[in-house]
Structure 1
């Protein structure tokens, strides 16, 4: 009974954090043009219901200090852009609240749009099935435990295959049909203990403290995305604090960790995060035979070369391990009923962003790596299945955005992905497997492959008062299948019936 009470104490213990030694809170961020990505100097940020506010500097950055802790609404305005209102912003004295905004240029002055704090924020330039979330939306979402994938499970058209896993089932599709992109890097799986060949797992390895924005498309997504058929989850991570150094220690329902961030001279910033689960301590106290443990690490560095060029480097890694307690026959039997997943994975990328007078371009060199060791023993502790696999891929991606006018833009790009290692070593003993003749025969697979994928796309978008549309197409090439080249046409339209109602088709 004492052990149970001790375990429950750890499970319900509140999240704790410590950071900057301040009595009041801070809101800070950066304001940019949604289409061009250029900063908007002089934009006015006002805390609604107060006389407090700030003006963005030449870099589009603003900072509001000495705010009492509480919930606030911010209004962003400047000449030539639609007014934005962001509600339900939580301010604490633990750390600055980061609110970055992308403003939409308009030829109609004084038009105001409301950015609501629900799960259904729309980006009208994407397909009608696209929803947007920020880190505060994820924190407030009920029952998601600050997990970005669990937050997307609350969106329309999304189902789950199991309550304890992050396997997305989008409009009837399978979990392996979902695409995940983190800072322009295509990632095979962003979960701890991820399923090989799929995109699911028990919990996400993305730290929401550093999430800037999440765009989720549940179908008919834009031409710059390919290779998957169900959904696209695009996660953009924020930059570090370029004004001051800070750190945070936190304790959650599943683990504990440390975050650090700060400036790099006057031209950049960085952040670093390390987290570890404590479920292994709880499972041991509960005398459970199956003891999972995970670590994850993340780092992002951004550096401004000059006014038109920036470099961003990101790396995220995870170590997932399961310890077995086979000290009794009942433990052996319990552990024989599950396959034991051990996984080491990381992904990293370097992005060069160049700003032009009427647009910008991104060039990203990325790498993903996954090392699987999955095995299963029988009730006597004898190995009956073993899978040692390695999957590694290097990619090069180029995207160009060209703003033709205030109401139209053109984007195009290409991507090349080379699987440098697809190595699989799988064994099953002969006394557990029979061939077509009914004879016992072991399974031994020891093979290695290389593969090449590429894609290219073009998209044109235009806004005409209440009406907007996007048309485009994409070619995909994969040398590992018989029909190597595919073409995918893409189109979407949107009509704003009223301030609260849109009609979309894609």
Structure 2
């Protein structure tokens, strides 16, 4: 750890020296172009003649949209601005906290909602379209929180990672510092659905094991994302095969008028990017970015750390207009990663969050997704989209048992004990159509068909050969859905939907109704209620686990498992206390059923899985388990204004499950409470530069664990758990605070940003895991990340 911190501090010092040497000369006030497109929210038809004004600009800086709905504002001063967009017959939009930098044009898309009432009727003055925290998906009634790419970079500790950023929201907690898995309302992290530009994608993280939803480092690049949604319960009908949460991410379009470039150094790596039009006469654009591991780069120049992670990723997107009403888009994301942990290098005094001194671990991961889509506006009321996509993920694992000389840490022998090679490929077709009936109603529907091909090999080699998986094949998951949004009045809105699922592997089906109601109480307050029945497939590796039989062979005892299912009920209340401060309270109840548990009496349930690198090795399961999650969440948020913001979120919850033994236990994710406090201040230094200070504090209840039976472990010379007391013992609570300090300078045609993110700057010791150590005959404890300074530098020009 000392070597890592020293290396990072040296990197920060070098970056700082180079930065201030280059930017020492003062510049005149910088300006930038702000442009975009205004469309009808329901039909995507262009809104012609809408007025767009920079709020508070002197002299007034404003314009109107052209026949394609486009607008352009030139000479906008750098800093933060707000836009007000108005058009007769539509609800006003008040877009706040738009960051304008000299190094990059601001390109925005705004959907406008048609007014429910005629001009001569009395209207309610509160409009959801003026709330800058309204989700992209207008079918979402509750538990939906949009976020901008700026938030993933702004919040201390988020490291430009959407998952780590979402851990600040109410109802969400990070599973551990070593990975970016998130626990939502007590659900397993594996119950999260990842979606990118309408495509259901595999785990988008480096070192992301098959069957999990997280990893140590995200492959998603914040610099390439547009405003996206994060949903935590009772979500709309188009989202299926998910129980806990949904990340509905969107890639932005590249600049179609001007070539722009980016270079950045941070936790996620060293990266370069470019975007722009293919020609001056074309509105077709491209967006490309490449990133390489920062720790891998440091290792290559002599700063070695144990278990250096090597990874790289590539993202590309192109958008090509087709006439006035169509758009063709292609995007791809790919990455590869590898790491080696040698038992002899593990620090046994402090513990290691990844390594184990009794084992060598070597892993290689590769993952890629590509999609081609075409969107067409058939009329001013109807548009459709079709997407063809494919993905491939591979995981190669090799492990050794390390034997030491008696009483000393000197390697005696290394024996390969396990190997795994998993390959999963998917071909998908997504088709959807949206129709605006009138100002009151909108219909949408679609189909999603995923063809999965897999090759799964997994076996133990020492002390005995055990085949855990050895199969090849293919299967298909099909989904069809329909959704209806209806505004009974200016105050009352209904969102209803129905989803159907069919899994070809074992001919299992699921039908899921969704229903939501939103009622505007007055100009400041809204009451929301929603219900959803949700279903989730089991991880692919679980279906093909080979259970030993009495004849000495194996059988696929889990292949006939059905969906895990749950009822979601959510009641929410939102109130705008002031123009920039919002209070949100939600209470929820989730009843889970048809959960896979052991066929004979035992504590095991699939609900306890999902936050690990290892696959689930449990056979003879049946869909007879249950679970329940319930709680209350509070959010108090001040949007950025007067140069500061704050976000306070609190959750009190309970998460329980029953295995086949009928005993109700805590899930390992039942921390009972989570509290986050975030705040930030921006200090302008003239018109072109500023200093920012962002702070975060998180405290949460400890996780419930399976205690280790020391006597039985000593006899077996490996970790043996006391399963009769499974998840009765709770670890100590979690505490961590982060501080991020940054400086930004706008020059005439470039923007420089430099920051230092002080992770866990109080160096709190939070338990990661415990295991039996046969060399010392003791239970060892590994702790999560200690104090770690992370440098950041970005140049856009």
Distance 1:496 1:233 in 2: 27
Cα 1:501–1:339 change in 2 (3 A) is: farther
Residue in 2 that maps onto 1:386: 419
SS where residue 8 of structure 2 aligns?
helix
Residue in 1 that maps onto 2:92: 83
Cα 1:79–1:328 change in 2 (3 A) is: closer
Q: Is the 8 A contact 1:245 1:262 kept in 2?
A: yes
Worse-matched range after superposition: 165-174 or 91-100: 91-100
Superposition TM-score, scaled by structure 1 size: 0.90
Cα 1:237–1:329 change in 2 (3 A) is: closer
Residue in 2 that maps onto 1:270: 286
Distance 1:115 1:163 in 2: 36
Cα 1:115–1:494 change in 2 (3 A) is: closer
Q: How big is the shift at 1:492? A: 0.7
Distance 1:365 1:113 in 2: 37
Q: How many residue pairs get matched?
A: 494
Q: How big is the shift at 1:404? A: 0.8
Cα 1:190–1:22 change in 2 (3 A) is: farther
Q: Is the 8 A contact 2:343 2:360 kept in 1?
A: no
Distance 1:3 1:395 in 2: 43
Q: How big is the shift at 1:286? A: 4.9
Q: How big is the shift at 1:305? A: 1.4
Choose which of 366, 379, 389 in structure 1 pairs with 2:389. Answer: 366
Cα deviation code 1:53-94 (max 9, x no counterpart): 233233222232322321111111222211111112221112
Q: Is the 8 A contact 1:11 1:253 kept in 2?
A: no
Distance 2:223 2:68 in 1: 23
1:133-152 alignment, distance < 5 Å? 133-152=147-166
Cα deviation code 1:269-302 (max 9, x no counterpart): 1111111121124457554221101111111111
Answering whether residue 165 of structure 2 is matched by residue 132 of structure 1, we say: no
Answering whether residue 456 of structure 2 is matched by residue 424 of structure 1, we say: yes
Residue in 1 that maps onto 2:46: 39
Residue in 2 that maps onto 1:69: 78
Over the aligned positions, Cα root-mean-square deviation in angstroms equals 3.0
Cα deviation code 1:295-333 (max 9, x no counterpart): 1111111111112221111111111122567897989x8
SS where residue 10 of structure 1 aligns?
helix
Superposition TM-score, scaled by structure 2 size: 0.58
Q: Is the 8 A contact 1:119 1:137 kept in 2?
A: no
Cα deviation code 1:92-122 (max 9, x no counterpart): 1121233321111114459564778986768
SS where residue 279 of structure 1 aligns?
helix
Cα 1:4–1:227 change in 2 (3 A) is: closer
Q: Is the 8 A contact 1:87 1:115 kept in 2?
A: no
Q: Is the 8 A contact 1:87 1:116 kept in 2?
A: no
Cα deviation code 1:397-453 (max 9, x no counterpart): 11111111111011111111111x21111121141xxxxxxxx44336321121111
Gaps (5+ residues) in structure 1?
A: 432-439
Q: Is the 8 A contact 1:468 1:494 kept in 2?
A: yes
Choose which of 317, 323, 326 in structure 2 pairs with 1:306. Answer: 323
SS where residue 382 of structure 1 aligns?
strand
1:20-419 alignment, distance < 5 Å? 23-50=30-57, 51-108=60-117, 113=127, 125-265=139-279, 266-282=282-298, 285-323=302-340, 336-337=358-359, 339-357=361-379, 358-379=381-402, 380-419=413-452
Cα deviation code 1:211-269 (max 9, x no counterpart): 11211111111111111111111111111111111211122233111111111342421
Residue in 2 that maps onto 1:435: none
Distance 1:116 1:373 in 2: 49
Cα 1:122–1:183 change in 2 (3 A) is: closer
Residue in 2 that maps onto 1:436: none
Cα 1:383–1:41 change in 2 (3 A) is: farther
Choose which of 487, 496, 501 in structure 2 pairs with 1:476. Answer: 501
SS where residue 296 of structure 2 aligns?
helix
Q: Is the 8 A contact 1:473 1:487 kept in 2?
A: yes
Distance 1:268 1:383 in 2: 53
Distance 1:411 1:223 in 2: 10
Q: Is the 8 A contact 1:283 1:290 kept in 2?
A: no
Residue in 1 that maps onto 2:11: 10
Relative contact order, higher structure (CA 8 A, sep 6+) = 2
SS where residue 290 of structure 1 aligns?
coil
SS where residue 153 of structure 2 aligns?
helix
Distance 2:168 2:391 in 1: 28
